[in-house]
Amino acid sequence: MPKLYVPASAEDRWYAWWEQQGFFTASNAPEDTRETYTVAIPPPNVTGTLHMGHACRTTFEDVLVRYERMKGKNALWVPGTDHAGIATQVVVERKLKAEGLTRHDLGREKFIERVWEWRKESGDTILGQLRKMGASCDWSRTKFTMDPDLSHAVREAFVRLYEEGLIYRGTRLVNWDVVSQTVLSDLEVETEENVKYTEEFGVCELFDFAYKLDAEDAAATGVDEIIVSTTRPETMLGDTALAVHPEDERYKGLHGRFVTHPFVDRRIPIVCDATLVDPEFGTGVVKVTPAHDPNDFATGKRHGLEEISILNKDGTLNENGGPFAGLERFEARKAVKAKLEELGLARGKRKHVMSLPRSQRSGSIVEPMISTQWFVKMEPLAGPAIEAVESGKVQILPEDWTKTYFHWLRNIQDWCISRQLWWGHGIPAWYCGDCEHMSVSRTDLSACEKCGSANVEQDPDVLDTWFSSALWPFSTLGWPNQTPDLARFYPTQDMETGYDILFFWVARMIMMGLHFMGEVPFSRVLLAGLVTDERGQKMSKVKGNVIDPLDVIHGATGAHLLMKAEQAGAAADGVEYLRTTYPDGFDAYGADALRMTLLSYSPQSRRIALSIKRIEGYRNFANKLWNAARYVLGRLVGQDGEPGPHPDARATGARPAVTALPNRWILSRLDVALASANAGITAYRLDEGSQALYHFVWDELCDWYLELSKPLLDGDDRALAEETAAVLLHVLETTLRALHPMMPFITEEIWQRVPRAGVAAGETIMLARYPQAGTDSLRDEASERELAVVQEFVVAARSIRAEYDLPRKQGIAIHWCADDAEKVATIETARSLIEALAGATLTQEEAAKVDDPHQHFTLAAAFVLPGLRGVVPGVIDPVKERERLTRQLTKVEKELGTLEKKLTNEKFLGGAPAEVVEQTKRDAAELREKRDQMSGAIARLG
C-alpha cells in the first residue's frame, strides 16, 4: 500500500464494479419479503451540469440509502431528471442565439427536437456526475419527467383533476414575464427588495401628475384638477377610474364626477373605495388600472370598471396606448412623462425605495396582466396536506419549517399551471374551431367531441414543470398503472431536498400524493441548507464563485478555474475573488472527502458555507484512515509480499473476547462511536453521525489505540499479541463498515484488502451488515476510567518533555506515587504501555519523596493529577518550572474559586438538587488538593 491514498483510480474502479454487479438494484422478486426503504431523487434539471447543491443532496441521500441497505432493507433510490420547462428552454434558446437563430426561426417542432438533443447531452452528463459522487441509485429505474410513461401520468392527473372540478380555465390577472413571454406562478416571481432609483428604467420614482376635471364638473365643483402619484406612469393609459376614500373631506364634493384622460378619448369616473385608498398616503387619490395591478383589479371588480390592457405580450404598448402604441414599456414610461410635462400636467417627482417583482428565470420585471390561463384550485388539496403534517404522518425536519409550511398552505392561492412555452407537457384540451366546444381528453383528439368537426386544435400551452414534479414519487413507480413497484415501494420513506423548494415541490407532492394515492408520498421530509461560497454568498456564474463538485473531486488548477469562470460569464470582481481565494486551484480531494465535508454541516443551518480548507481536512482524514489500515495490515498479515507475524489473523465479523485494558477500552470507545453513528443517521443528524466516527478514528483509534497496540504486539505475551491482532482487525473492519455510507470508495478499497472470514467474508462492503453498538462493540466503563488514568499520566509526562524541549530519543525517569490501591494497580498493570507512550522509565516511590522533590531529587519537574503525582528528575530549569507550575495553578485556583463561591452560597446549598451539590463538593475537594500539591511544589522550588 502506498503512503498516500489516491482516490481517483479507486473511485472509478469500485463504482463500475458495483453497478455492473447490480448491487444498486432493488429487488422486486415476489419472494423477497424484506422491508423496503425508498427515496425518490429530487430530479436535477436538464439545464447543464450538477452544482454543489446537487452534490449535497446526493450525498445526504446516498448516506441514508446505503445505511438502510446495509441494515438489510430492500433499498430503492429512484434516479432521474426533470425537463425543467422554462429553464431548459432558456438554455437552448441561448445556444440558438449564438448561432444567430431564435426558436421562431426553427419553428416549434424543430425547436423541440433541439431541446431533446440537449436534454440527452445534459441528462447523460448529470447522471454521470451522480455516479462520480458515489450515488447508489437503481439505474435500471431511471426516469425523465417527459418519458412516455410519466407524460401519461401527467395527462391522467390533469384530466382527473379537471373532471373533479379542481382544474379550471379562467381569466385572471396573472404575472407576465415579457422576456420569456409566458405567465408565471406566484412562486416563480421573486421580489427584489429596497430597490433604489435607476435612470434606465425609471423605476423607483414616484411621479405626480394632474387629471383635469371635465369642464362641467369643474364648473360645478370649483375644482380644476386632481393630482395622483404613480411609480408606473405608462399605466395611466389603462386608467379607468380615480379612487378616493369615502370619508376624505377633501374630495367629498367630487364623488361621481369625471376627469378627462389627456391622451385617449376616455372619461374617467371618480369612485369611493375605502379598501384601496389610504387617505394619508400622497394626495389621497389613487389612479385605478384594473388590467395591470392586483389591487386595482380587485377594485375594478368591486365597481364594475372597464379593464383596459395596454400591453402586448412582448412588453410593448398595444393599440390602447394611443399615441404611445408600439413603444417598449420603459420607453413608453419616459414618453408619457415627457408628454405630461409638455402638457403642463406634471406635478413633480421624487425617489421612492420600493420592491420590484422579477421573474425567477429571466430576471425581467414582471408585469401584472389579464390573461386566460389554467389553474388548480388549491384549497381542497391543501387541507389534507396540512392534516398530514399536523398528525405526524409526514414529519418535517428540521422542525422549524413546519410553521412555514402551515403558513403557506393556510394562505394558499390557486396555482396557475399553464405556461406559454414550447418545451413541456401539452395541455390535454382541444378547442373546436366550429362550435367552440372545449374538450379535455386522455387521448389526443382529431375531432370535436360535441359536433364531430375535424377543425380542432390542441391548446398550444404547456404545463408548469412543477405539475409533473408533484407526481414524481408515484409516477416514477408506474402510476397510474397498478404496477408491482408501485405496490411495493409506495409510499416512500424519506424526501431529502433543499428548503427553497418546500412550496414549489414538497408541499405539492404531499397534496398530489394524498389526492391520487390516498397516502402521503413519504413519511419524512429532510430539508438541507443552501450551499454558498465561503463568504456565505450564493454561488452564481456571474459572481464567479461557483465551485464545481467535479473540480473538487478530480482537482483543478487555478488557471483552469479562472478560465471556466470567465467562460461562464463571471464579472471582473468575481474572477478576482476566485483568483485571490484559490490561487493554486484545488487538489484532487476525492469524492469521499467532499462527501464528508458536506455531511459535516448541521442540517439546522440554512447556509452551508463550503470551505475548501474543510474539504482538505477530510481529505487528510481519508489519508489518516488509509494509513491506519496500512499499519494494521502491515503489522499483522504483512503487505507487498512480506508476510507479517500474524498471517492467520482474520476479521470475522464477530467481536473478539478481550482481556487487556487497551483492547477492552477500544471496543468500549467503538461502542460509543457506533451508537452515535446509528443515532445520528436515523435522526437525520448526519453531521453528528459522521463526526462521531471521525473523532473515533482520529482521536481514539489512531492517537491512542494504534500506539498502545505496538507494545502489545511486540511484547513477549503471545496470547496477548494474538488478542490484540484480532481486536485491531475487528475494529478496523467494523469502522470501515460504519463509515461506508459516508465514504463509500475508500472503505471498499481498504475493506477488500482486509483478510476476512465468517460473516465478514462478503463480496462487497456495501452489502455487509451495518455495525451495531452492543453487538460489534461493548461498553466497558471500568476500562474507560482506567485508560483515562493512563492517558493523564502520559500527557503529563509529555507536557514536561515539551516544556523542557527534551528530544524524543532522550528517555526520562518518572518517580510516581498514587493515593489509592486501585490507581496503583492500574498503573502497575499498564506500566509498559505508559513507558512506551511517554518514552519513560517508571518507578513507584514513597509519597513523602514525590511530594518533596526538592529534597530527594535534583532539578526535578513535577506533575499533579487527581490522586496521582510524579516527578521527573534531572530536567528542569527552576525558573521555567516555577512559571509552568504557576500557570497551571492559576487555572486551578480560578476553577476552584467559582466552585467555592457556589458552596458558600446558602441558596445554592438549599435550592440545588443534592446530587449537584455533592458533585460540586467532590470537584472542589479534588481541586483543593491539587492546588495544595502544586503550591507546595512551587514553594519547594525555593
Partner RNA sequence: AGGCACGUAGCUCAGUGGGAGAGCACUACCUUGACACGGUAGGGGUCGGCGGUUCAAUCCCGCCCGUGCCUACCA
Cβ-based nearer residue to RNA, 630 or 940: 630
User: Looking at 57, 83, 266, 624, which residue binds RNA (CB under 7 A)?
Assistant: 624
If binding is defined by CB under 7 A, does position 99 make contact with RNA?
Answer: no
Query: Helix, strand, coil shares of the chain as percentages rounded to 5?
Result: 50, 20, 35
Q: How far is the C-alpha of 861 from the C-alpha of 876, rounded, in Å?
A: 6
If binding is defined by CB under 7 A, does position 617 make contact with RNA?
Answer: yes
User: Looking at 179, 483, 908, 936, which residue binds RNA (CB under 7 A)?
Assistant: 908
Shortest Å distance, C-beta 187 to RNA? 6
Selected range binding RNA among 51-59, 140-148, 289-297, 327-335, rule: CB under 7 A: 289-297
Site string for RNA, 869-888 (x = CB under 7 A): ------------------x-
Q: How far is the C-alpha of 890 from the C-alpha of 873, rounded, in Å?
A: 24
User: Looking at 698, 779, 859, 886, which residue binds RNA (CB under 7 A)?
Assistant: 698
Shortest Å distance, C-beta 278 to RNA? 3
Shortest Å distance, C-beta 694 to RNA? 8
Selected range binding RNA among 276-284, 337-345, 423-431, 454-462, rule: CB under 7 A: 276-284
Selected range binding RNA among 22-30, 441-449, 630-638, 817-825, rule: CB under 7 A: 630-638
Cβ-contact 141, 488 below 8 angstroms: no
Cis peptide leading into 398, omega within 30 of 0? yes
Q: Which three cell numbers stand for residue 422?
A: 414550447
Cβ-based nearer residue to RNA, 404 or 764: 404
User: Looking at 56, 187, 241, 596, which residue binds RNA (CB under 7 A)?
Assistant: 187
Closest listed residue to residue 343, CA positions, set 236, 459, 419 = 236
Closest listed residue to residue 769, CA positions, set 741, 746, 729, 728 = 741
User: Looking at 75, 87, 259, 285, which residue binds RNA (CB under 7 A)?
Assistant: 285
Q: How far is the C-alpha of 536 from the C-alpha of 608, rounded, in Å?
A: 8
If binding is defined by CB under 7 A, does position 503 make contact with RNA?
Answer: yes
Shortest Å distance, C-beta 37 to RNA? 25
The one-letter code for the residue type at 64 is L
If binding is defined by CB under 7 A, does position 942 make contact with RNA?
Answer: no
Closest listed residue to residue 162, CA positions, set 507, 386, 463, 422 = 463
If binding is defined by CB under 7 A, does position 172 make contact with RNA?
Answer: no
If binding is defined by CB under 7 A, does position 294 make contact with RNA?
Answer: yes
User: Looking at 534, 566, 722, 822, which residue binds RNA (CB under 7 A)?
Assistant: 534
The sign of the CA dihedral 301, 304, 308, 313 is positive
User: Looking at 94, 613, 640, 821, which residue binds RNA (CB under 7 A)?
Assistant: 613
- Crossing angle of the two packed helices 7-21 and 108-133, in degrees rounded to 10: 110
CB atoms within 10 A of CB 126: 22
Closest listed residue to residue 345, CA positions, set 261, 237, 264 = 261
If binding is defined by CB under 7 A, does position 641 make contact with RNA?
Answer: no
Site string for RNA, 213-252 (x = CB under 7 A): ---------------xxxxx--------------------
Shortest Å distance, C-beta 18 to RNA? 24
Q: How far is CA 340 from the centre of its chain?
A: 52
Q: Which three cell numbers stand for residue 552?
A: 473538487
User: Looking at 48, 262, 269, 282, which residue binds RNA (CB under 7 A)?
Assistant: 282
Cβ-based nearer residue to RNA, 654 or 702: 702
Cβ-based nearer residue to RNA, 228 or 661: 228
User: Looking at 269, 322, 384, 634, which residue binds RNA (CB under 7 A)?
Assistant: 634
Closest listed residue to residue 369, CA positions, set 203, 522, 535, 178 = 178
Cβ-based nearer residue to RNA, 4 or 821: 4
Region 390-449 residues binding RNA, contact defined as CB under 7 A? 400, 403-404, 407-408, 411
241 has which bridge partners? Answer: 288
Selected range binding RNA among 57-65, 285-293, 335-343, 451-459, rule: CB under 7 A: 285-293
Q: Which three cell numbers stand for residue 344?
A: 403642463
Q: How far is the C-alpha of 416 from the C-alpha of 2, rounded, in Å?
A: 60
Q: How far is the C-alpha of 534 from the C-alpha of 580, rounded, in Å?
A: 13
The kind and range of the H/E element at 495 are strand 492-498
Helices marked H in 289-348:
294-303, 329-342
If binding is defined by CB under 7 A, does position 928 make contact with RNA?
Answer: no
Cβ-based nearer residue to RNA, 242 or 766: 242
Please classify residue 344 by burial: count the beta carbons closer than 10 Å to its beta carbon, then call 0-12 exposed, 13-18 middle and 19+ buried.
exposed
If binding is defined by CB under 7 A, does position 619 make contact with RNA?
Answer: yes
Cβ-based nearer residue to RNA, 23 or 197: 197
Region 765-824 residues binding RNA, contact defined as CB under 7 A? 794-795, 798-799, 801-803, 805, 807-808
Region 583-612 residues binding RNA, contact defined as CB under 7 A? 601-602, 604-607, 609, 611
Closest listed residue to residue 603, CA positions, set 672, 491, 695, 691 = 691
Q: Which three cell numbers stand for residue 364?
A: 425581467
Cβ-contact 549, 55 below 8 angstroms: yes
